[in-house]
A and B are shown apart, each in its own frame.
Chain A
Amino acid sequence: MTFALRLSRSIDRLLTLVAKLGGVCVVLLILAVCYDVVTRYFGVPKVLGLTSTILQEAQFWLHSFAIVLCIGYAYIRQRHVRIDLIREQLSVRARYWIEAIGCAVMLIPYAILGAWLSYPYVARSFALGETSRSQNGIDNVWILKSGLLALFVLIGLAGLSVFLKAVAGLAGRLPEDMRAETIDG
Chain B
Amino acid sequence: MADYLPALMFAALAILLFSGFPVAWVLGGVGLAFGVIGILAGEFMFVQFSTLPSRIYGGILESLILTAVPTFVFMGMMLEKSGIARDLLNCLTVLLRRVPGGLALAVTAMGTVLAATTGIIGASVVMMTLLALPVMMDRRYSPELATGTIAASGCLGILIPPSIMLVIMADLLSRSVGTLFMAAVMPGLLLAGLYALYIVVRCGLNPALAPPLAADVGPRGVWPMARMVLRSFIPPVILIFMVLGSIIFGLATPTEAAGVGAFGATVLAVLNIVVLPAMGIHGVEIDPGAQAARTPPGARWRHFRQTFAEVIDNTILTNAMIFGIFIGATLFSYIFRALGGDGMIIGFVDALGLGSWGLLTLILALVFVLGFFFDWIEITLIVLPVFAPVIAQLDFGDHVAARDVVYWLAILIAMNLQTSFLTPPFGFALFFLKAVAPEGVRLQQIYRGIIPFVLLQLLALALVVAFPAIALWLPRGLLD
Contacts and interface: CB of A to CB of B under 8 A. Distances in A.
B444 interface: no
A106 to B, nearest CB: 3
A22 interface: yes
A66 B31 CA distance: 24
B57 interface: yes
Contacts of B50: 117, 120-121
Interface in A73-103: 73-75, 77, 79-87, 90, 95, 98-99, 102-103
A30 B318 CA distance: 16
* Residue in B16, B60, B64, B259 whose Cβ sees the most chain A Cβ within 10 Å: B259
Nearest to A38: B260
Given A33-B255, A33-B259, A147 B321 contact: no
B49 interface: yes
Interface string B12-35: 000011111111111011111100
Given A81-B24, A144-B61, A74 B67 contact: no
A145 B33 CA distance: 25
A107 B25 contact: yes
A105 B26 CA distance: 10
A164 interface: no
Interface stretch (A1-9, A43-51, A56-64, A171-179): A56-64
Interface string B368-392: 0000011101100000000000000
A79 B30 CA distance: 21
Contacts of A67: 60-61, 319-320, 323
A110 to B, nearest CB: 4
Q: Give chain B's interface residue range (CB within 8 Å of chain A).
A: 35 or more
8 contacts: A29-B71, A33-B71, A68-B61, A79-B320, A85-B373, A110-B25, A117-B49, A144-B61
Contacts of B71: 26, 29-30, 33
Contacts of A22: 316, 320
Given A63-B67, A80-B321, A120-B50, A30 B259 contact: yes
B52 A74 contact: no
Contacts of A29: 67, 70-71, 259
Interface residues of A, number: 62
B18 to A, nearest CB: 5
B315 interface: yes
A81 B23 contact: yes
A103 B21 CA distance: 9
B252 interface: yes
A81 B375 contact: yes
A71 interface: yes
Listed from nearest, the 6 A-B pairs whose CB atoms lie closest are: A33-B259, A106-B29, A87-B20, A110-B28, A80-B22, A74-B320
A23 to B, nearest CB: 4
Interface string B114-138: 0000000000000000000000000
Given A29-B259, A75-B324, A86-B18, 4 more contacts: A30-B259, A30-B266, A74-B320, A114-B28
Given A30-B259, A33-B255, A59 B64 contact: yes
A60 B29 contact: no
Given A26-B70, A80-B321, A66 B316 contact: yes
A144 B70 CA distance: 18
Contacts of A74: 316-317, 320-321, 324
Interface string B232-276: 000000000000000000011001101110110010000000000
A71 B67 contact: no
A53 to B, nearest CB: 11
B306 interface: no
B325 interface: yes
* Residue in B25, B266, B377 whose Cβ sees the most chain A Cβ within 10 Å: B25
Contacts, number: 197
Given A26-B70, A106-B26, A83 B53 contact: no
A183 B250 CA distance: 46
A37 interface: yes
B394 interface: no
Given A67-B61, A113-B49, A34 B260 contact: yes
A109 interface: yes
Interface in B50-99: 50, 52-54, 56-57, 60-64, 66-67, 70-71, 74
Contacts of B313: 23
B5 to A, nearest CB: 18
A12 interface: no
Contacts of B113: none
A68 B320 CA distance: 8
Given A27-B312, A30-B262, A102-B19, A145 B53 contact: yes
Given A67-B323, A70-B316, A83 B373 contact: yes
B327 interface: yes
Nearest to A21: B316
A148 interface: yes
Contact of B259 (A34, A105, A120, A155): A34
Given A30-B262, A70-B319, A79-B320, A106 B25 contact: yes
